[in-house]
Structure 1
Amino acid sequence: MAVYGIADLHLDSTGDKPMDIFGNNWVSHQDKIFNNWRNIVSEDDIVLIAGDISWALRLSEAYADLMKIEKLPGNKVITRGNHDYWWSTKSKLEGLGFKTIHFLHNDSFLYNSIVICGARGWASKDSDEFDSQDEKIFSREINRLDLSLSSIKDDSFEKIVMLHYPPFNTENKSPNEFVDIMKKYNVTKCVYGHLHGEGHKLVVEGNIEGIDFHCIACDYINFTPKEIIR
């Protein structure tokens, strides 16, 4: 069993949101992702999908994109991104009846000896135009990550956190409060996405304060799921 990660699929069954406006590397990006996925992921592997799954606005509209993911090899664990407006309650998400997709929603997912936890995260407090409303969302996402990690009752499992936003400050790339929560629960690895194009200059990776960090924004990893654990 291996664990892979990828974020920012930005699927669009309607064809209304072509991503190639962000660069030639995004041309036919869905085909690139799915072909690379099928070439490397096996049925007993886990793929962590860290947000911005579909451009759909409603859950019913996102179904077609989610079904494409359902049919790909492996077990998928998904957390919400800032563009996943279709995201709904846990009961409605589970009511879709997918067999290979688990939606993280203030909880965790255990697979063999690995526990996957996560939240959406939010922009860092030193980001441009961060205001009081952002402060509320930031605090709420901190609580959601804490809820997810506190749902683990056996501390012997390896813990992986998946976020959509990077858990680092913008100005000096230092770890922010999300990393403090991870340290509290002895998390070993963290994956995140969100950063595209010029945003790649803000990527932070490597072992920081005892946690291995991986950026898995799909254009950063050349639209190929990145191996996190083998």
Structure 2
Amino acid sequence: MDVFGAHWRNHAATIAKAWHESVAADDLVLIAGDISWAMHLNDVRADLAWIEALPGKKVLCKGNHDYWWSSKNKVRAILPPSLQIVDCDAVVVDQIVVCGTRGWAVPGDRDFDKTTDQRIYERELGRLERALAGAQVLAEEVRPIYVLLHFPPFRDGQPTEFAKRIAAAHAHTCVYGHLHQAEQWANATTGQVETVFYQLTACDALGFKPLLLTDNP
């Protein structure tokens, strides 16, 4: 990762140290994609084992660089005990419902190519709809819904269709990643927007330290 800047030097050790200092065994850690550079499912086991060795219960979603990510059933079959995934569906961890999908670039983005991206964009919207529907069933009007996305649900400060559907589902919190440049961090939408709390959790944006999400952001 050093090729992406000096701040990435020894990033794994930095993450592990900060994680051990702030995360307890019963805490829930949300990881918003881009988990491993592995290209195949068998090759990701070492990275998953590294996350498994850290404290806490972890829920992961897929990022655009997680090429190893196969079908959800195949991924779940190799997950260590403390790891769960959300893949256009939802899970309950303690008294919290976590749902999610990868997301995608949206129309109007500089690099959005309608011939290739439109189909993926529409598919990811459908996957988010299914994830939110599943979460609402599990929530039973009691448990808060946390949404995991990889791509940001806002564009130039305005809600995309992803954000609109998250708000319509009465989610409590949405965390996302994908942004790795300082100017992107400065313009990222975070904090309370209508009834949903949004937080960018790209590890370099956070200084490679876990960020506490409270029940009442």
The TM-score range, normalised by the shorter chain, is: over 0.9
Question: In the TM superposition, what are the counterparts of 1:181-192 in structure 2 within 5 Å?
Answer: 181-192=165-176
2-structure distance, mates of 1:102, 1:38: 20
1:95: which partner in 2? Answer: 77
1-structure distance, mates of 2:180, 2:209: 15
The question of 1:46 aligning with 2:32 is answered no
Shift of 1:137: 0.8
Give me the identity figure in percent.
40
The question of 1:163 aligning with 2:149 is answered yes
Unaligned runs of 5+ in 1: 1-18
Question: In the TM superposition, what are the counterparts of 1:1-230 in structure 2 within 5 Å?
Answer: 19-132=1-114, 133-152=116-135, 153=137, 154-169=140-155, 172-198=156-182, 199-229=184-214
> Is the Cα contact below 8 Å between 1:195 and 1:202 reproduced in 2?
no
Shift of 1:97: 4.5
Q: TM-score, normalised by structure 1?
A: 0.88
Superposition RMSD on alpha carbons, in Å? 1.2
Unaligned runs of 5+ in 2: none
Query: Alpha-carbon deviations, 1:180-206, whole Å to 9, x = none?
Result: 111221001111111112432331111
SS in 2 for 1:95: helix
1-structure distance, mates of 2:28, 2:79: 18
Count matched residues: 210
2-structure distance, mates of 1:121, 1:54: 18
SS in 1 for 2:159: coil
Between Structure 1 and Structure 2, the one with more helix by share is 2
1-structure distance, mates of 2:161, 2:35: 25
SS in 1 for 2:121: helix
Q: TM-score, normalised by structure 2?
A: 0.93
User: Which structure is higher in RCO with an 8 Å CA cutoff and minimum separation 6?
Assistant: 1
> Is the Cα contact below 8 Å between 2:152 and 2:176 reproduced in 1?
yes
